[in-house]
């Protein structure tokens, strides 16, 4: 930490409880989500009382001017509040939650291996966030996706090679932090080697410390060296490092590995405590106590929190302090880090606004435009296509210029991090429809438990995400192939190593990648 003025403005730990300021310091460590597109009265009151910040999600956004008005309202209630968002520049998007992201996504950037492009994406994302008043981005994803069956990381990762991932993490952080908006590299110490989603369970990684050092920790070192101001924890259990506590609750991992071994002195953010990996057994209030005690400074609570829930968390933390389970000094340290980051990032935002000729960010960004009409960055589809993995079968299909007589859309349950944002070709077609006589204009939908596909004449294009992970999807493709018709499978997720269900693998499902797939299938250059 730095800034003597900040430290001097807070009483020492011996006087906190008697002066009634301890609850305010506890509040400074909390970051809830909320329901609605305007700042709720209860949340404004908590911000005025010292709440550390808020996290904005897709359903909170309808336009840029509305989002800037919302973030301005947060700052009016608490000028040093941290305002966070998940904008990873790919499948995970909040600014473009209604339409799909115009960015290539981390896995594509890793495959292109153009560090200047990666830095440009990081910088451009930060510039967009500055325009709408967000000061902290829960990105980039620094996980090494070593397990192709990973249900929650996949294309959010820059790849499988730790050194290559580290190069791109360094470039992305450099671009983003250089534009003034703080990053939060995640999910420490690494969520890539899991086959479970920590939103739904507590994943276990069977790796020893040397494996972590040579694989998982490499990109986090790069993030720290590039100037990442915050690091986000993961709700994963690594028994060979800490057999009792998941990373978010582990002093061994947060103090031993992150603080002492990697030398990180910035702010540690917990992943959302409403996730089952953090609170499935003990509940959110107890998860908050354990996260603070382990070394987390800012606690991301969840997506749709309430005033009563925040009160319960504060009460549990205060009770833990009173009983001696949690030290006042630890809470004071966490609160000071959050306040310092809030003051620093909001000062940067004010300077950026002042440098825009007096125009507010909302005025510069299409005041009354819905989110689907955002002025957005432009990327070259031909460049993006170079990241695709195109099989010989797919190449022959493309060379022959085959037009499908049917398109089958495979719908699977999206992981919670991605949510229900439009994806792939269907996101692009929602904005720029094909003629009604095209097979793309009326795709057949297939989901788990739905009725069997009708008799579909060939040639057929099948489109889905992570297709190899779903038995119903594999079975449907096998049946289509067995019927003897021409079948082309397009996987917009992370495919299996054998590519058995990915004739074209895009390594991402953003709207940009959907546009690039359609261009490729329409005969534009790969």
Mean pLDDT of 141-162: 92
Task: Name every residue whose Cβ is closer than 8 Å to that of residue 41 and which is 6 or more positions away in sequence.
Answer: none
pLDDT value, residue 8: 36
Catalytically annotated residue among 176, 199, 235, 468: 199
Sign of CA dihedral 174, 178, 179, 185: positive
What tens digit of pLDDT does each residue of 223-266 get?
999 999 999 999 899 999 999 999 999 999 999 999 999 999 99
> 67: which 2 tokens?
């989002």
More confident residue, 361 or 512: 512
Phi-psi map region of 168: left, alpha, beta (phi>0 left; psi -120 to 50 alpha): alpha
Confidence band, pLDDT 50/70/90 cuts, at residue 524: low
What tens digit of pLDDT does each residue of 349-379 get?
999 998 875 343 333 344 444 444 457 899 9
Contact, 425 vs 463, CB < 8 A? Answer: yes
pLDDT value, residue 368: 42
Residue 392 pLDDT greater than 80, yes or no: yes
> 222: which 2 tokens?
């790069």
Residue (of 77, 97, 51, 26) closest to 305 by Cα position: 51
Strands 389-390 and 504-505, by their bridges, are antiparallel
What tens digit of pLDDT does each residue of 145-154 get?
998 888 789 9
Contact, 135 vs 346, CB < 8 A? Answer: yes
Q: Among this protein's residues, is 282 annotated catalytic?
A: no
- How far apart (Å, rounded) are the C-alpha atoms in residues 272 and 435? 43
- How far apart (Å, rounded) are the C-alpha atoms in residues 157 and 88? 10
> 476: which 2 tokens?
């449907």
- How far apart (Å, rounded) are the C-alpha atoms in residues 429 and 407? 13
- How far apart (Å, rounded) are the C-alpha atoms in residues 355 and 44? 28
Mean pLDDT of the chain: 90
Mean pLDDT of 469-485: 90
Mean pLDDT of 325-348: 97
Per residue, what are the HEC states of 110-138?
HHHCCHHHHHHHHHHHHHHHHHHCCCEEC
> 60: which 2 tokens?
């909170």
pLDDT value, residue 314: 96
More confident residue, 278 or 222: 222
Residue 504 pLDDT greater than 80, yes or no: yes
- How far apart (Å, rounded) are the C-alpha atoms in residues 56 and 70? 10
Residue 13 pLDDT greater than 70, yes or no: no
Q: What letter does residue 409 receive in the DSSP assignment?
A: E
Contact, 462 vs 490, CB < 8 A? Answer: yes
Confidence band, pLDDT 50/70/90 cuts, at residue 21: confident
> 211: which 2 tokens?
């494996």
Catalytically annotated residue among 91, 197, 271, 503: 271
User: At residue 359, what are phi and psi to the nearest 5 degrees?
Assistant: -80, 135
Residue (of 421, 342, 374) closest to 93 by Cα position: 421
What tens digit of pLDDT does each residue of 52-87 get?
999 999 999 999 999 999 999 999 999 999 999 999
Cβ-based neighbour number of residue 430 at 10 Å: 15
Residue 432 pLDDT greater than 50, yes or no: yes
- How far apart (Å, rounded) are the C-alpha atoms in residues 130 and 405? 45
Q: Among this protein's residues, is 432 annotated catalytic?
A: no
Cβ-based neighbour number of residue 260 at 10 Å: 10
> 313: which 2 tokens?
């968390």
Return the ∠ at Cα 465 (arms to 104 and 234), rounded to 5°.
75
The residue count of the chain comes to: 526
Contact, 195 vs 203, CB < 8 A? Answer: yes
Residue with tokens 């953010």: 269
What tens digit of pLDDT does each residue of 252-310 get?
999 999 999 999 999 999 998 987 656 557 889 999 999 999 999 999 999 999 999 99
Lowest mean pLDDT among 40-49, 266-275, 333-342, 517-526: 517-526
Residue 321 pLDDT greater than 90, yes or no: yes
More confident residue, 358 or 516: 516
Residue 19 pLDDT greater than 60, yes or no: no
pLDDT value, residue 453: 81
């Amino acid at each position: 930490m730095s800034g003597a003025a900040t430290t001097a403005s807070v009483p020492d730990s011996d006087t906190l409880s008697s002066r009634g300021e301890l609850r305010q310091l506890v509040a400074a460590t909390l970051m809830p989500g909320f329901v609605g597109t305007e700042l709720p009265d209860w949340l404004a009151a908590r911000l005025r009382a010292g709440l550390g910040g808020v996290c904005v999600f897709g359903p909170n956004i309808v336009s840029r001017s509305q989002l800037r008005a919302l973030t301005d309202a947060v700052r009016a209630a608490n000028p040093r509040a941290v305002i966070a968002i998940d904008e990873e520049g790919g499948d995970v998007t909040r600014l473009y939650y209604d339409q799909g992201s115009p960015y290539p996504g981390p896995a594509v950037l890793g495959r292109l291996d153009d560090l200047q492009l990666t830095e440009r994406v990081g910088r451009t994302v930060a510039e967009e966030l500055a325009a709408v008043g967000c000061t902290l981005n829960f990105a980039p994803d620094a996980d090494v996706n070593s397990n192709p069956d990973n249900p929650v990381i996949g294309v959010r990762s820059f790849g499988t090679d730790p050194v290559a991932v580290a190069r791109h993490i360094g470039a992305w952080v450099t671009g983003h932090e250089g534009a003034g908006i703080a990053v939060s590299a995640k999910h420490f110490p690494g969520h890539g080697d899991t086959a479970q989603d920590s939103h739904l369970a507590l994943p276990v990684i069977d790796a020893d410390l040397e494996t972590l050092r040579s694989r998982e920790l490499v990109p986090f070192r790069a993030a720290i060296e590039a100037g990442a101001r915050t690091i986000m924890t993961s709700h994963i259990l690594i028994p060979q490092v800490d057999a009792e506590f998941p990373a978010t609750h582990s002093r061994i991992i947060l103090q031993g590995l992150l603080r002492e071994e990697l030398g990180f002195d910035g702010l540690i953010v917990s992943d959302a405590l409403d996730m089952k990996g953090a609170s499935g057994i003990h509940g959110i209030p107890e998860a908050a106590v354990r996260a603070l005690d382990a070394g987390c400074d800012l606690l991301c609570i969840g997506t749709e929190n309430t005033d009563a829930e925040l009160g319960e968390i504060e009460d549990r933390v205060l009770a833990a302090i009173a009983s001696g389970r949690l030290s006042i000094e630890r809470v004071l340290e966490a609160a000071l880090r959050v306040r310092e980051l809030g003051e620093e990032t909001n000062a940067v935002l004010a300077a950026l606004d002042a440098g825009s000729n007096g125009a507010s960010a909302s005025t510069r960004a299409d005041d009354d435009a819905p989110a689907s009409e955002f002025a957005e960055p432009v990327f070259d589809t031909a460049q993006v296509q170079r990241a695709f993995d195109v099989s010989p079968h797919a190449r022959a299909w493309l060379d022959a210029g085959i037009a499908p007589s049917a398109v089958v859309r495979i719908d699977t349950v999206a992981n919670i991090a991605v949510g229900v944002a439009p994806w792939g070709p269907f996101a692009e077609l929602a904005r720029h429809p094909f003629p009604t006589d095209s097979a793309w204009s009326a795709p057949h939908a297939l989901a788990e438990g739905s009725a069997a596909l009708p008799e579909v004449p060939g040639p057929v294009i099948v489109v889905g995400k992570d297709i190899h992970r779903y038995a119903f999807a594999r079975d449907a493709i096998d049946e289509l192939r067995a019927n003897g018709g021409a079948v082309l499978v397009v996987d917009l997720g992370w495919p299996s190593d054998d590519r058995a269900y990915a004739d074209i693998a895009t390594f991402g499902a953003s709207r940009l990648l959907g546009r690039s797939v359609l261009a490729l299938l329409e005969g534009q250059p790969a």
